[in-house]
Amino acid sequence: MGDLLNELLINGTSPYHVGEFLYQTLTSGENGNFSPLDMRDEWKLEEGRGYLVNLGSTIIAFRIPKDRARMLPDSSKGRDASCLRITASHVDYPGFRIKSDPDMADGGYVTLDTEVYGGPIDSSWLDRPLGVAGMVTVSTDDPFQVEEILYDSKRGLLTIPNLAIHMDRETNKGKTFNRQTQLIPLFSASEDEESFEEFLASDLGVEQDRILSWDLCVYNEDRPQRIGRDYEMLSAPRIDNLSSVAACLSSMLRPEEAVSLEISAFFNHEEIGSTTREGADSNLLSHVIQKIYDSFGFTEAERLRAVYDGYLLSVDVAHAFHPNYKDKADPKNRPVINRGFAVKEAFSQSYATDPVSIGILKSICQKEGIPCQSYFNRSDIPGGHTLGVYVASHLPMHAADIGLPILAMHSARELCGMDDYISMERFLRAFYNG
């Protein structure tokens, strides 16, 4: 276990590359026999098959049981049998995006105009080799049919140099950065060379005047590395939230047959609020479920019965107890790395977890011998939201938030425990296997 995670951390340099990785893995290989679907088509689904919907940076995969009756509640098994089981994770990460016409030449250098995406730890991005990856749109003969091309520099193309301590003696006393002037990446040490767009066109092998637009991420080019006395920890970029994506993907690829309608949604734009066409706070997943049940001739009433019987797992990272900042953790509910995945709770409902959901979750863990830990924010330090609350607002069903306890969350390089990843992967498989 962990090979899939390592491969995804290396190749998932942008949400579009994560989407491509998911698509290629799900549609090829021994267990990756999922058939692509288009939301604009009428679906004719078959029992016992796997399918996926591909929106570029958002993927929704699902597996249908061989007996379609399992897609409806079984009253003999009680109200919480969960004929519809969903996992949801996100494919984006905090960092920087390159604006259009980004070149800024001054003093012999060329820097690139960027916008901060999400909530990164600014200082962690300094003095690193930074790559560029994302999607570029290119013109065709038909204005309504633009070509989408994946791009990855595959090397350290940019960097954000720090200022020498001799020029800022207060730098070790804590510093904030102006994101428009002090966090701008250096692209070239010569103003006389080609512009970024010219460079991009050359790298893509297309004419510059065909480039229409792009969504390009600046990413940390570092590789994942196992560290610690016993190699028990993983230090890597993008653990938030590609660790969850890898575990959810693994559960979709398991060889066991589906015992319910199984769905795994990999959403974009969680780090900026999820309120987009490809985000969790949209009708996309609801529409997919509707099309699935319509394909098998179920009525709207039957579909709603399935939704209210369903169970959602929102899979995202949690804050691990930090040995150097003990006062930032809850005095009791503070997960430690490598003691099991975390179950995240908040009475404010910033996490979707409810008592019945926790009961089901912990029962599975007890039955399978899978370790898990409880996480609460400190009462005086409010935490963020996850996509779970947004999905559950569109699909009213039992829901729980879980994830790996990690350190340095939203840093350019984060830290987690490999035992925790294994425990979460085992749990997700057990969750689907029933």
Listed residue (38, 45, 31, 12) closest to 150, CA to CA? 12
Q: Are residues 321 and 416 in the same domain?
A: yes
Q: Are residues 310 and 418 in the same domain?
A: yes
The pLDDT tens digits for 5-16 are: 999 999 999 999
What integer is the mean pLDDT of 17-22?
A: 97
- State which residues form the domain around 100: 95-220
Q: Are residues 139 and 44 in the same domain?
A: no
Q: Do 378 and 201 touch, CB atoms closer than 8 A?
A: no
Q: Are residues 255 and 344 in the same domain?
A: yes
Q: Which strands form 318-319's sheet, in the order they lie side by side?
A: 225-227, 233-236, 414-417, 405-407, 318-319
What integer is the mean pLDDT of 333-361?
A: 93
Q: 220, 250, 265 — which closes off a domain?
A: 220
Residue 368 pLDDT exceeds 90: yes
Q: Are residues 214 and 159 in the same domain?
A: yes
The pLDDT tens digits for 124-150 are: 999 999 999 999 999 999 999 999 999
Answer yes or no: is 404 within a domain. Answer: yes
Residue 78 pLDDT exceeds 70: no
pLDDT band at 348 (very low <50, low <70, confident <90, very high): confident
The pLDDT tens digits for 419-434 are: 999 999 999 999 999 8
Listed residue (419, 404, 427) closest to 318, CA to CA? 404
Listed residue (254, 424, 255, 431) closest to 338, CA to CA? 424
pLDDT band at 385 (very low <50, low <70, confident <90, very high): confident
The pLDDT tens digits for 207-235 are: 999 999 999 999 999 999 999 999 999 99
CATH at 303: 3.40.630.10
What pTM does this model have? 0.96
- Which helix (H) or strand (E) covers residue 215, if one does? strand 211-220
Residue 31 pLDDT exceeds 80: no
Answer yes or no: is 227 within a domain. Answer: no
The pLDDT tens digits for 387-404 are: 999 999 999 999 999 999
Pairwise CA distance, residues 1 & 246, whole Å: 10
pLDDT band at 79 (very low <50, low <70, confident <90, very high): low
Give the model's pLDDT for residue 80. 53
Total count of domains within the chain = 2
Residue 56 pLDDT exceeds 90: no
Task: Classify residue 67 as left (phi > 0), alpha (psi -120 to 50) or beta.
Answer: beta
Q: 157, 190, 220 — which closes off a domain?
A: 220
Pairwise CA distance, residues 72 & 261, whole Å: 9
- Number of Cβ within 10 Å of residue 47's Cβ equals 14
Strand partners, 217: 97, 133
Cα-based distances in Å from 274 to 267, 280, 335, 385: 8, 5, 26, 10
- The helix/strand/coil state of 27 is helix
Q: Are residues 275 and 403 in the same domain?
A: yes
88 residue type, one letter = A
Measure the CA dihedral 11/12/14/19, to 10°.
Answer: 110
Q: Which residues contact 174 (CB under 8 A, 6 or more apart)?
A: none
Q: Are residues 178 and 259 in the same domain?
A: no
pLDDT band at 273 (very low <50, low <70, confident <90, very high): very high
Answer yes or no: is 289 within a domain. Answer: yes
- Which helix (H) or strand (E) covers residue 87, if one does? strand 84-90
Q: Are residues 107 and 193 in the same domain?
A: yes
Listed residue (244, 297, 263, 259) closest to 395, CA to CA? 263
Answer yes or no: is 358 within a domain. Answer: yes
